[in-house]
């Protein structure tokens, strides 16, 4: 069904009319118009991609290119992939992703520049002075951000800086060697390397508020007060079915009130096994809720789903006993969750300017470094 050029409301009407029977349990169709709806709402609807299926699996490529407006590198831009040996860079995966995005008229998000996981041994086991580690970080940023300057609009510069369930800064390599101001230092460095990129701190378990959220809020406020070039907060959004926080928009608004943008960067909703049909149906409302929360927040730039299908999701490996966390099943059939996102995007909230691209809505009052 082609609805190119329609307004959000027209698209929604056409889609709902076309897919009405699915509300009663039938198979969904027409969901390939999600990009039209997302763009009409001025947000990105993204997905994290893996390189091998992006290059070699037609079904995977169709899902990505047909349903989303942006892609994030699930793994291929992490240190262990990009710079497996010091000074030896592998651009095959990142190039493939960015080329795919451009060929399909999609945006690309960069993920990630400083993290405690997926560091190559030469980096994690190195004996670094602060000056040496600074040099290594600059080389990495200049190579990676520099290569995609103007092609990747937003970077998760700092990933998961707080302890898993705690409001304390994580004792990662960067913290240990550079000291706790490593976050400000890295953001300033990233801004020097690519002054046009939107620079994010990306974190999990912050979506419903609490001590960790408060600590991140205090950090973000302090960075902004000091003129550090922080532009956005990524709310990862790794949720458990039945526990998606109702106050997500409220939490995001706390950060946008500081002058930051926000993005839901890694959405999935894992379901405990055995996965019931009812749970899969109820997941629709949870995906709707998250996208609707983003639309409620004027400076929410979009929602990215973490994994193209349940066959490609990190959940079964990392959370044994859970599955079915994404909007497509293992055969690439859309699930009710996908329709939940259509539901949200079909109801354009007042105050959000339709038709503008997320890139076109950049905030200009970025603090000077």
Catalytic residue, candidates 74, 203, 207, 266 = 266
Q: Annotated catalytic, 160? A: yes
Measured CA to CA, the distance from residue 215 to residue 87 in angstroms comes to: 35
Cβ at position 75, least distance to ligand G3I in Å: 4
Using the contact rule CB under 6 A, the part of the chain among 142-150, 219-227, 314-322, 344-352 near ligand G3I is 314-322
In degrees, to the nearest 5, what angle opens at C-alpha 367 toward C-alphas 303 and 353? 40
Catalytic residue, candidates 74, 160, 261, 348 = 160
Q: Annotated catalytic, 296? A: no
Cβ at position 265, least distance to ligand G3I in Å: 8
Among positions 244-303, residues that touch ligand G3I (CB under 6 A) are: 266
Mask: binding to ligand G3I, 319-358, rule CB under 6 A, as x and -? ----------------------------------------
Selected from 19, 70, 236, 253, the binder of ligand G3I by CB under 6 A is 236
Closer of 153 and 161 to ligand G3I (Cβ): 161
Selected from 314, 322, 328, 339, the binder of ligand G3I by CB under 6 A is 314
When asked if residue 117 is in the footprint of ligand G3I (CB under 6 A), the reply is yes
Among positions 38-77, residues that touch ligand G3I (CB under 6 A) are: 74-75
Using the contact rule CB under 6 A, the part of the chain among 99-107, 242-250, 285-293, 313-321 near ligand G3I is 313-321
Chain contacts with ligand G3I (rule: CB under 6 A): 74-75, 117-118, 159, 236, 266, 314, 317-318
Q: Which residues are catalytic?
A: 160, 266
């Amino acid at each position: 069904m082609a609805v190119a050029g329609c307004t959000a409301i027209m698209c929604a009407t056409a889609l709902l009319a076309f897919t009405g029977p699915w509300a009663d349990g039938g198979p969904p169709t027409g969901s390939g118009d999600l990009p039209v709806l997302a763009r009409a709402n001025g947000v990105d609807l993204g997905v994290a991609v893996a390189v091998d299926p992006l290059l070699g699996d037609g079904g995977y490529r169709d899902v990505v290119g047909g349903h989303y407006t942006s892609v994030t590198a699930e793994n291929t831009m992490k240190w262990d992939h990009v710079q497996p040996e010091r000074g030896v860079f592998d651009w095959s995966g990142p190039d493939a992703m960015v080329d795919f995005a451009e060929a399909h008229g999609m945006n690309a998000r960069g993920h990630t520049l400083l993290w405690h996981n997926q560091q190559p041994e030469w980096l994690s086991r190195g004996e670094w002075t602060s000056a040496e580690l600074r040099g290594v970080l600059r080389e990495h940023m200049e190579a990676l951000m520099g290569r995609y300057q103007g092609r990747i609009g937003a970077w998760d510069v700092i990933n998961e800086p707080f302890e898993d369930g705690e409001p304390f800064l994580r004792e990662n390599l960067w913290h240990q060697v550079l000291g706790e101001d490593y976050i400000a230092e890295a953001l300033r460095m990233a801004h020097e390397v690519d002054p046009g990129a939107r620079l994010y701190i990306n974190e999990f378990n912050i979506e419903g508020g609490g001590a960790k959220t408060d600590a991140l809020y205090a950090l973000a406020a302090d960075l902004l007060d000091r003129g550090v070039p922080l532009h956005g907060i990524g709310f990862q959004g790794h949720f458990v079915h039945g526990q998606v926080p109702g106050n997500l928009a409220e939490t995001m608004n706390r950060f946008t009130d500081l002058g930051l943008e926000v993005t839901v960067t890694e959405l999935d909703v894992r379901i405990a096994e055995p996965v019931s049909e009812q749970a899969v149906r109820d997941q629709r409302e949870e995906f709707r809720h998250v996208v609707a929360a983003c639309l409620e927040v004027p400076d929410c730039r979009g929602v990215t789903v973490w994994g193209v299908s349940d066959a490609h999701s990190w959940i079964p490996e990392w959370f044994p006993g859970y599955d079915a966390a994404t909007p497509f099943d293992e055969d690439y059939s859309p699930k009710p969750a996908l329709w939940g996102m259509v539901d949200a995007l079909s109801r354009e909230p007042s105050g959000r300017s339709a038709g503008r691209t997320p890139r076109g809505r950049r905030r200009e009052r970025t603090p000077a470094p």
